[in-house]
Each structure stands twice: as structure tokens, then as C-alpha cells.
Structure 1
């Protein structure tokens, strides 16, 4: 077997991926530093919201265990994928447009000042429900069951 070729300067390859001729470019440290203020503007409130939801999840499980007066050892249940997606969606939706614009301003990227009408939540939910029904009919999606902490519709 021939020795692996060294990737071009400024690029790196990952074993197994380079055989497919896929290359990953390293991000220059200077670019990371430039993006840091925007990262703080967005990620701090985003992570705070996720952390709050996680703590509520833990407290809910602990409260349910205590109220059951069970003598069994408390066992923490990890949130399901559906719960995590709901948390991520909620955290993203709770980021205000002002927060996002602030991050772009810190990067000196001009922001769009146009106003867009937001569809009502009910219209969005109807559109999503219709899409899911179509995907289920095509056997592309299926019901995965109930999830701890989420209401089923």
C-alpha cells in the first residue's frame, strides 16, 4: 500500500474520508476571532434557553419520582429526540430579531430592514401537519410514540 499523500497546506483530510477525495478546510483562527462577538450575541441566549429547558426536564422527573413515593432508586431518563428538537426549535424561536441583528452588527455585516409578516402559529402547525400526513402516506415518516413532557395531538 502506498503511503498517504500529505494534504495541501491549509487543508486537512480525515482518514477514510480522503479516499473519497473529500477535503476539509481548516478555519483560520483570525476568522474565529472575527465571528466571536456574533457567537456571543446568539449563542449565550440560545444556550441559556436550552439549559433552562433541561433543568425543567430534570426537575419534572425528580418531582414525579418524589411524588410517587417510590423506594426505587431515582433513574434519570434522557430526553428523546423529539423533545430535543422541540427544545432547539423553542430556543431558536425565542431569539429575537434584535439579538440576531446585534450579532451581525458586531460583525459589521449590514442587516436587512424589510419587515416580513409572520404566519400565525396555527397556520404553521396546519402546514406541518399536512406535510407529515403526506410523508406518512408515502411511508417516509411514521409516528414514533409519545414523549415524556410533550403533549400528543
Structure 2
């Protein structure tokens, strides 16, 4: 398991989670979630970069978070919502696992360590969004751009590392 949320699960919990995970390729520009549409799957990338974006009515696209092998997509499900308020798409191709949302919600009731880990990830994601928002407001364009490039580079290197392990 090259997704950090899955990698260190206790064996008992991994045994409950694994049957629901399907290996998937994450292709460039592939849309994983649409705004206000039901969330059908949770995604756990092992490589690549996923972008979470809002699209105001004026046609702009505003990225507010990125997700790599440290995270997952489907956070609203953990908070009791059935839809995603934003679009999620693949920005840097890679691979990962997906699991049907309804199955994962049932599994989470049986896996307290996994559930706790996902909730801590929610906090980390909120911190990432808050930090990014602050940086975008307080710094010149070069600093947020450098931060984004470093995050993307780190996640792309995780993807390259996954390829070397599987070769």
C-alpha cells in the first residue's frame, strides 16, 4: 500500500478494508467528483496529484487543495454529506485505489483506527487549505507558486518511487 492512510493500518483493519479497494489508473484531467453530485467512490492515490477546485460563476477555476499519496478524496462522506461541493480531477497522472462510498462507510464503522486516521487527515487538509488561502492573500505570486511547485514535485516523486518499486 503506497497510500500513507492505508499503509500502516493494523492487519485486522486492513483485512476489512482491502476487499473493497480496486486498483485504478488516474489519468490526466480525469474527473473524480463533480460539484453537487453524489459521491460514488473514495479515492486513495498512490502516486500523482489530484486537484480540488471551485468554479465561480464567472468561469474562473480556483484550486484550493491538492491531494497526493498522503491523502484521499471523499472527505464530505466522513462528515455526513453525500455530495462534493467542488470538482476533483487528476492534475498529474498516477495510480491509486478506489472504493465504493457506501461500502467504505460501512467498513469505517468496523475500523476505528482507520476512521480516526481519516478524521486526522480531514484536519490536515483543512490546515493545508487555510495555509494556502493565507499564503495566496499575504504573499506575492512567487511564494504561493513555489509552494505549489514543491508540493507537486514531492507528490510526483512519490509516483516515480511507486513505479520503481513495481518494476
Structure number with the bigger relative contact order (C-alpha 8 A, sep ≥ 6) is: 2
TM-score (normalizing by structure 1): 0.24
TM-score (normalizing by structure 2): 0.23
Structure with the higher helix share, 1 or 2:
1
The structure with the larger Rg is: 1
